[in-house]
Amino acid sequence: MSGERTYDVVVVGAGSTGENVADVVVRGGLSAVLVEAELVGGECSYWACMPSKALLRGSEALSAARAVSGAAAAVTGEQDATATLARRDSFTSNWSDASQVEWVRVAGIDLVRGSARLDGEKTVVVTDADGAETRLTATHAVALCTGSEAAVPPVAGLRDVEPWTPREATSAKEVPGRLIVVGGGYVGCEMATAWSALGSTVTVLERGDRVLAGAEPVAGDAVTAALRAAGVDVRLGTAVQAARREGTEVVVTVAAGDGPAEEVRGDQVLVAAGRRARTHDIGLESVGLEGEGFLDVDDTLQVRGLPWLYGVGDVNGRALLTHMGKYQARQAAAAIVARAEGRDVDTSDWSPFVATADTHAVPSVVFTDPQVASVGMTSAKAAESGRPHRVVEYPIGSVAGASVHRDGYEGTAIAVVDTEREVLLGVTFVGYDVAELLHSAVIAVAGEVPIARLWHAVPAYPTISEVWLRLLETWRNG
């Protein structure tokens, strides 16, 4: 495919964020084209959310069964790793994007495959696998939805050992005998959980004093304890100094604090130490922007200083989560349509054209065992903000529904309360299967629901949601 074409909107990147931008603008009456160099559906569908959760689900189900007397007797074997990997493959359609391409066609969106680069105002040049170029011109807007990619820290020899990134960790075809995980964030902890349960001997190297550093401390402590109980060697305060290969082995040199250097040996090493924007080599210089780094955008996701250019999803660094990218896509697309029609774009807090949730009500779940589900501010973030607040905690295991759910349930619910306005600034749940509790907290935080009103939101008995009542009682009782 070559030549020149004109569309109302050109969307670079056909992951879930780009798909949503294109879909909303087309439903708003504009024409749109998606440009993608890899698989339509992007990171979440093939290398992140879906395959990782497929890898984790088997161990979650077994853990739940083993925690219920009577049901535990039925668990007489171990997880079938081969079957788990096959189920994971089905979640990714064996890395075929045929169904996603068909969705794009039915949605009335054009698709151009190839590597894209900006070439001046409202212009994108796409080079396909054969070197042919297609020049795309946007009448109204170009949306950059190129996402993010794994960052590899500048450690001597680390790139040379050809480490796994999260992509390889979620798509591996066999269980590594020994896996070294560099980084104790959510990816590192989830992959340590998954591969350990499938039979790998796992070592986690975290340079900080706890895993899940951005979460409430109790969350990191609970996940560390669970990983260690599962046989994972979790090393905190441990810096990676170098890496090399010796035959089939990976050798990682580490040091804990001021202690002597030592070597950790494994069959594979996973680098899960952060993300960087996919903005290099996409022609930002042609429109006067820096050639790499996260894009600086306003709350309508418009790149500052370039009213025709939008940076949506991970590429702007505001909230690197699939669901927040989709949220931003809906907001940005609505603004693009309104501006194309000559309408004023309302930028107030509750406007359908601006993104506000990605700065104060970001939900996230770490699918370890126990899970960590949170939204809004942690107690540390509230303290940093200077807002008057109080932290309320309640043991989830003390709720009747938790004892029904599993024997010996352990977990913690934490609410951060604005003491002036008496609304929730943030909520964290740490425990088994708490992910499904989270959206109630998202509504309370995003909607700034007064605690006086939440008191009348009565939880069903006996469910784990009764922890809401206990949190509010603890708040009332001071």
Q: State the pTM of this model.
A: 0.95
Domain edge (last residue) among 243, 273, 303: 273
**Co-location of 203 and 249 in the same domain:** yes
**Co-location of 226 and 328 in the same domain:** no
Domain edge (last residue) among 323, 357, 391: 357
Mode of pairing for the β-strands spanning 233-235 and 201-205: parallel
| Distance from chain centroid for Cα 75 | 32
**Co-location of 201 and 257 in the same domain:** yes
CA distances from 335 to 137, 307, 312, 323, 326 (A): 19, 11, 12, 19, 14
Q: What is the pLDDT of residue 254?
A: 97
Structure-block tokens of residue 441: 């907290």
Residues in the chain, overall count = 478
**Co-location of 402 and 425 in the same domain:** yes
Q: How far apart are CA 162 and CA 400, in angstroms?
A: 49
Non-local CB neighbours of 1 within 8 Å, separated by 6+ positions: 112, 113, 128, 132, 134
Domain edge (last residue) among 329, 357, 385: 357
**Co-location of 130 and 145 in the same domain:** yes
**Co-location of 145 and 285 in the same domain:** yes
Question: Block means of pLDDT (10 residues each) for the chain, length 478 residues?
Answer: 88 98 98 98 97 96 94 93 98 97 98 98 97 97 97 96 97 98 98 98 97 97 98 97 96 92 97 96 96 95 98 97 98 98 90 92 97 98 96 97 94 98 98 96 97 96 97 94
CA distances from 251 to 41, 44, 240, 243, 271 (A): 36, 31, 11, 6, 14
Whether residue 189 is contained in a domain is answered as yes
Q: How far apart are CA 69 and CA 407, in angstroms?
A: 7
Long-range contacts of 304-308 (CB under 8 A, 24+ apart): 308/121, 308/122, 308/138, 308/140, 308/141, 308/142
CA distances from 82 to 85, 89, 169 (A): 5, 11, 15
Q: What is the pLDDT of residue 1?
A: 46
**Co-location of 180 and 254 in the same domain:** yes
Whether residue 363 is contained in a domain is answered as no
SS3 per-residue string spanning 239-308:
EEEEEEEECCEEEEEEEECCCCCEEEEECEEEECCCEEECCCCCCHHHHCCCCCCCCCECCCCEECCCCC
Q: What is the pLDDT of residue 349?
A: 80
CB count, 10 Å around CB of 468?
A: 24
Q: What is the pLDDT of residue 259?
A: 85
**Co-location of 319 and 464 in the same domain:** no
Q: What is the pLDDT of residue 83?
A: 97
Domain range for 456: 370-476
Residue ranges of alpha helices (H) inside 107-240 are 166-171, 186-197, 217-229
**Co-location of 226 and 102 in the same domain:** no
